[in-house]
Amino acid sequence: MQFTILGSGSGGNCAYLETPSARLLVDAGFSAKQIRERLASIGRSPETLSGILVTHEHIDHIQGLAVLASKLDVPIYCNRLTREAAEGVLKCRLRASVFQTGASFEIGDVGVETFSVPHDAYDPVGFLFRTQAGNVGFLTDLGHATKLVIERVRPANLLVLEANHDVKLLQEDTKRPWSTKQRILSRHGHLSNDAAADVASELVSEHLRRIYLGHLSRDCNRPELAHRVVCSRLQAMGANHIAVENTSQSTPCATAVLG
């Protein structure tokens, strides 16, 4: 199994998962052209995709969805409310395989488990991808981690975990109105670095080997700050076997290989 985060941040989110019989995108938050270029940088092409899974309808997760799905006839997997909301955002009809939040299904040799996450969207979801080589948890864009969320991603060997902002930097930011700050800080907003560290500490296990910190704010966070906060918490617990890596808005991360 190969897993690559093609980009993550408030300007766009997209990840790529590949197994012997499935090639999947998780979200399509860049333009179709950008996604093609980022796939090409790892030697892949959107023409071979088995499907696109959508977490929720915000534009930084669906920007290239309509073009990829229509021009290349790539299947879309999302719940009903996300499809309807995405159609409103993109001003087009989307042909999708609709799942009910909480359902599990298979795409090729990948088992897909879905679960609800608290975020300010119509029906946002997280994913756990089960493969023969290992499991990938996808936990981004959420205001807090419920007990359900923690339990659903507990089997992950690799975990994508939001670390959106530093609370102090957000409070001091002059670009955002107070209403926006309140939304980000709310229980349906985004995880702070400290909140991400809390989640990471709850998920420490022998089988969790790597955490990718995603959706970092350009203005209200610093990669080194997010990394230090989460690493310090894990090291204090003696969880030195878990590698912590920052994601980037502008470039794909190094591809992780399991099995």
Q: pLDDT tens digit string along 182-235?
A: 999 999 999 999 999 999 999 999 999 999 999 999 999 999 999 999 999 999
Give the three-class secondary structure for 153. Answer: helix
* Domain limits for position 119: 2-257
- pLDDT for residue 159: 98
Sheet of 135-139, strand order: 104-107, 110-116, 125-130, 135-139, 158-162, 210-214, 243-246
Which CATH number goes with the domain that contains 89? 3.60.15.10
Residue 222 in tokens: 């610093």
Q: pLDDT tens digit string along 16-70?
A: 999 999 999 999 999 999 999 999 999 999 999 999 999 999 999 999 999 999 9
CA 134 vs. chain centroid, Å, equals: 17
- Rounded CA gap, 38 and 85, in Å? 26
- pLDDT for residue 52: 98
- pLDDT for residue 119: 98
- Rounded CA gap, 101 and 126, in Å? 9
Q: pLDDT tens digit string along 109-165?
A: 999 999 999 999 999 999 999 999 999 999 999 999 999 999 999 999 999 999 999
- pLDDT for residue 79: 98
- pLDDT for residue 86: 98
Give the list of residues 6+ apart from residue 40 with CB closer than 8 angstroms, or none: none
Phi and psi (nearest 5°) for 33? -65, -45
Mean pLDDT of 6-19: 97
Type of residue at 116: S
As for how many domains the chain has, the answer is 1
Q: pLDDT tens digit string along 89-105?
A: 999 999 999 999 999 99
Give percent helix, percent strand, percent coil of the chain, each to the nearest 5: 30, 25, 45
